[in-house]
Chain A
């Protein structure tokens, strides 16, 4: 894990990601106390990979420990959240999660639930919305550049479209 290049991961290098995913599963198994529940492990690996990909894309992301150590802490956190969702979390584990998140279990689970809703709603949005939301929230491009790239009259027009797209996504999520 520790010899995988972050730059390669950022550049979506296929081999690096393949290697990363394989080794993440081993780390996740450890973070999950070597659980024999495959579906739990699948969930933890998936959620950890997604949480990592979000961080990887963040401007302020700086790895201050080994990647394996970092991934262990992400996987452990996801493991506790998964136990919380399944209602099988112990009091000690609840405290561990609350300390890590700085908030109560219910709050953590509420946030996770909204993430899931958005994930499912996002699959269904049209291409136009997907492009503008990706450019703004993920690629973090400036509105003026987005307007040029996506062919909108100006940044205000692009901003309006972005607002409408999010509103419609929100409505789908909360319906």
Chain B
């Protein structure tokens, strides 16, 4: 099937124009072709993004307000839970009381609730910054070095201010900072420069006469939020003390959003295990192999194949690069439920070309929508495993979730195949050798995040899982 045909099929499914045959074909591709799956989910994402706009338009505000105000409370309180949960009419009074209490609680948080991220909120707040130099900079000098920056600012020509203003003192530095903030993306400046350096400098030094510290702190918080410096933005917000209830409300709102958006507790910045590795495929583009030694993994699993015909386009290249750096590599096969297990195994063996020193072959099997019945799944998986065993003389490592293993494989291969278990939340309950702990590992070789795996044991034990 060509890429164009796949594209057309996806569109038909999304537009509900696919017939029975096409729907089945689509289901098969979703389960066996990761590129297809990715594109399809992204297309589905377009509908989701548009749904958000649809609701916003219906509510006639860029902000989707959740809940309601108090005068509408009685109406909201009339909500009766779904029929299947409906209590008797006597108990309805109880439900009304609960609902009414909830309305009061929710009404108090009503103004703090909207759907925007901290970044979107900060961007919208920039529109509320006065665009007048008199209001912003008070008595600051009118012109310096022949450049009438006040005029340029008042005319909205922030690029001229940024390019021409000699910001050697506090007044002009404030003007420069605010110009950078007001000119989000259109001016000639670094993309993550929203004036936070200038505004930060002013806050550490004297403020220009007539300028409110709370206002500058607010502008600084917006700039820091936009540049992604969450902790600094929250610190700046915490310093704001003001009588202005509107500003206080906005400060609370932005802080709440920052706390939510910037929570990086799931991000793994450094390896936490003695022996660890990553797993990659063609999805990781522009890998900077020269940076791999900065945080050198003890092993790398590479995607080699999928189904009975698909080969990962970057397998050979990445394998060669990793081997140049003396990093042991392994190859995995993404299992498809739509082709014969033995055929898939032979395709994998022919493509992966594993040799002495490589990690044991890996069978990657995952849940998908509309799984075939469990007997069929187990039968095909076992065909794959047996073919690997007879051709390579070793049992493959099984990559899956514990629930998958328990459901489809435990009775057949218990103790025979080492397990590589994916669980991003807690240590797996089944007896694993490799544990995929997160997909949010930061590594200098990759632009985004990458999967991180720990090995249960030391470097000597790892050798037991390499081909002789």
Closest to A9 in B: B58
Chain B hits for A1, CB < 8 A: 79
* Contact with A72, one of B38, B82, B113 (Cβ below 8 angstroms): B82
A175 sits at the interface (CB 8 A) = yes
Chain B hits for A138, CB < 8 A: 46-47, 50-51, 54
Chain A hits for B54, CB < 8 A: 12, 53, 57, 138
Closest to B426 in A: A87
Complex formed: what's the CA distance from A117 to B38 in Å?
Answer: 12
Which residues in window 119-159 of A have CB below 8 A to B? 119, 122-123, 133-134, 136-138, 140
Q: Which of B63-71, B130-138, B220-228, B314-322 lies on the face that meets chain A?
A: B63-71
Chain A hits for B82, CB < 8 A: 65-66, 68-69, 72
Interface string of B75-94 (1 = CB under 8 A from A): 11001111111000000000
A137 near B14 (CB under 8 angstroms)? yes
Chain B min CB distance to A132 (Å): 11
Chain A min CB distance to B50 (Å): 4
A104 near B59 (CB under 8 angstroms)? no
A115 near B44 (CB under 8 angstroms)? yes
Indicate the size class of the contact surface on chain B: 35 or more
Assuming the contacts A23-B76, A107-B368, A119-B48, asked whether A45 and B16 have C-beta atoms less than 8 A apart, the reply is no
Which residues in window 155-205 of B have CB below 8 A to A? none
Chain B hits for A174, CB < 8 A: 38, 283, 285
Which residues in window 51-110 of A have CB below 8 A to B? 51, 53-54, 57-60, 65-66, 68-69, 72, 84, 87-89, 94-95, 98, 101-107, 109-110
Chain A min CB distance to B35 (Å): 10
A54 near B48 (CB under 8 angstroms)? yes
B46 near A23 (CB under 8 angstroms)? no
B60 sits at the interface (CB 8 A) = yes
Chain A min CB distance to B57 (Å): 6
* Contact with A103, one of B57, B76, B368 (Cβ below 8 angstroms): B368
Main secondary structure of the interface of B (DSSP, over half): helix
Complex formed: what's the CA distance from A46 to B244 in Å?
Answer: 30
Chain A min CB distance to B248 (Å): 18
B52 near A119 (CB under 8 angstroms)? yes
Chain B hits for A21, CB < 8 A: 55, 59, 64-68
B39 sits at the interface (CB 8 A) = yes
Chain B hits for A111, CB < 8 A: 41, 44
Chain B hits for A13, CB < 8 A: 58
B19 sits at the interface (CB 8 A) = no
B368 near A115 (CB under 8 angstroms)? no
B15 sits at the interface (CB 8 A) = yes
Assuming the contacts A13-B58, A17-B58, A114-B42, asked whether A104 and B106 have C-beta atoms less than 8 A apart, the reply is no
A164 sits at the interface (CB 8 A) = no
Chain B hits for A66, CB < 8 A: 82-83
Chain B hits for A57, CB < 8 A: 47, 51, 54
Closest to B39 in A: A170
Closest to B368 in A: A103
A89 near B15 (CB under 8 angstroms)? no
* Contact with A50, one of B16, B38, B41, B51 (Cβ below 8 angstroms): B51
B64 near A49 (CB under 8 angstroms)? yes
Closest to A86 in B: B266
Which residues in window 403-417 of B have CB below 8 A to A? 403-404
B42 near A54 (CB under 8 angstroms)? no
A53 near B55 (CB under 8 angstroms)? yes
Assuming the contacts A39-B256, A57-B47, asked whether A50 and B424 have C-beta atoms less than 8 A apart, the reply is no
Closest to A26 in B: B79
B16 near A115 (CB under 8 angstroms)? no
Complex formed: what's the CA distance from A173 to B42 in Å?
Answer: 8
Closest to B261 in A: A39
Which residues in window 1-55 of A have CB below 8 A to B? 1-2, 9, 12-14, 16-19, 21-23, 25-27, 29-30, 38-39, 42, 45-46, 49-51, 53-54
Chain B min CB distance to A56 (Å): 8
B79 near A87 (CB under 8 angstroms)? no
Complex formed: what's the CA distance from A5 to B6 in Å?
Answer: 38
* Contact with A101, one of B50, B72, B369 (Cβ below 8 angstroms): B369
B97 sits at the interface (CB 8 A) = no
Chain A min CB distance to B409 (Å): 14
A22 near B45 (CB under 8 angstroms)? no
Assuming the contacts A50-B55, A87-B425, asked whether A68 and B81 have C-beta atoms less than 8 A apart, the reply is yes
B41 near A114 (CB under 8 angstroms)? yes
Closest to B367 in A: A104
A118 sits at the interface (CB 8 A) = yes
* Contact with B46, one of A2, A14, A122 (Cβ below 8 angstroms): A122
Closest to A16 in B: B58
Rank and list the top 8 A-B pairs by shortest CB-CB distance, nearest first: A118-B45, A104-B367, A69-B82, A53-B51, A22-B68, A122-B49, A12-B58, A17-B58
11 more contacts with CB within 8 A, not counting A53-B55, A136-B15, are: A17-B59, A22-B66, A22-B72, A50-B48, A68-B80, A84-B425, A98-B367, A101-B369, A107-B366, A163-B7, A174-B38
Q: 10 A-B contacts, Cβ less than 8 Å apart?
A: A21-B67, A50-B52, A51-B51, A58-B16, A106-B367, A115-B41, A116-B45, A163-B7, A166-B46, A169-B42
Interface residues of B (CB under 8 A from A): 7, 11, 14-16, 38-39, 41-52, 54-55, 57-60, 64-68, 72, 75-76, 79-85, 99, 102-103, 106, 109, 112-113, 115, 120, 256, 259-260, 266, 283, 285, 366-371, 401, 403-404, 422, 424-425, 447
